[in-house]
Structure 1
C-alpha cells in the first residue's frame, strides 16, 4: 500500500465529487441532518473549493481523499468512507499544515462530527469558539460549529 499526496488535477473531479457526497452525508447525519445535503457539484464554486490549494491523497494510484487550504483556513477535508481510519485524513491535514507552518490555521467542525473534532484536536487545534448560525452552503438549516485554530507551533 503506497500513499502519496499530490496537487488536484481536473481529471480528479468525478472522484472528488463521489468522495465528498458520500462523506458529507456522514458529516451531516449526527449534526444538522442529511436533509441539509447538497452535492459537491452544487456547492464547490459557491463555497470556494478552488479558492486556494487543493491536494488529493492517492493510495496505489486511486484518489481516496482531498483537502483544500484557502489562505490560513482548512476549508475542505474529506476521505472516502471506505477508507476512514486509515490515516488518509491525518496525512492530508498534515500536508496542508506544512504549507503554512509559520502561521495560525483555522477550520470549522460541525458539532456532532466527533471523528473530525478528534482529528483536529490530535493535530494541535484548539476550539476557540462554538457558534450557532446557518449552515454554510445551505443556509436553510441551522447549524452549530466549533471554530478551531492551530496556533503557530513553537
Structure 2
C-alpha cells in the first residue's frame, strides 16, 4: 500500500476530526482515562493543533492519519499524531513519523500516555525513553495522567 504524505488543507478538517476522535478513544482506553475523552473540536484550539506544521497521510485517495509538530534548528517535537483505527498496522503511522523525522534534521521528541501500545511502535522506530512524568492530562486538565517522553536521535556517522 502506498502512503502519500502532504500538507494539511482546510478541506481535510472533517477527516482529521473523525480520525482523531476514533483513535483518541483507543489511546485513552489503553491509559485507563476514557472518562477524560474530549473530541477534536473541543480541544484543537487550546492545544494549538495549528500552531505548528500539520501533515496528512493518504492511502488510496483517502485521509488515513495526520501528524503535527514543530521543527526548529537541530530537531523537533511531534505534538499530535493519529491514525484511522481502520488503518492501524498498515504503515500509515510509520510513514508519518519518518516524514517528520526527515524534516526535523535532528533530535525528535514526543510524549505517549502510559499504557498506550503506540509506545512499542515508537521504540521499534528507534525512539528511547527519556523520562516519565505524572501531571495534568493535556487537553483535559481535570484528569491526571502519566506520560513518557520518548526521543529519537539521528544515528552517528
Q: Structure 1 length as normaliser, TM-score?
A: 0.95
- Contact 1:32–1:143 at 8 Å: present in 2 too? no
Equivalent residue for 2:119?
A: 117
Match of 2:5 in 1: 5
Shift of residue 3 of structure 1? 2.1
Match of 1:99, SS? helix
Q: Once the 2 structures are TM-superposed, how far is the Cα of residue 51 of structure 1 from its aligned partner?
A: 1.5
Maintained 8 Å contact 2:3/2:91: no
- Number of equivalent positions: 152
Q: Distance in 2 between matches of 1:29 and 1:7?
A: 29
Shift of 1:153: 2.6
Q: CA deviation at 1:12?
A: 0.0
| Unpaired runs of at least 5, structure 1 | none
Structure 1 ranges of 4+ moved more than 4 A: none
Please, which runs of 5 or more residues in structure 2 have no aligned partner?
A: none
Per-residue CA deviations over 1:47-75 (Å, capped at 9, x if unaligned) read: 11111111111011100000112231101
TM-score (norm 2): 0.93
Contact 2:65 2:81 in 1 (8 A): yes
3-state SS in 2 of match to 1:29? helix
Q: 1:80 aligns with which of 73, 80, 84?
A: 84
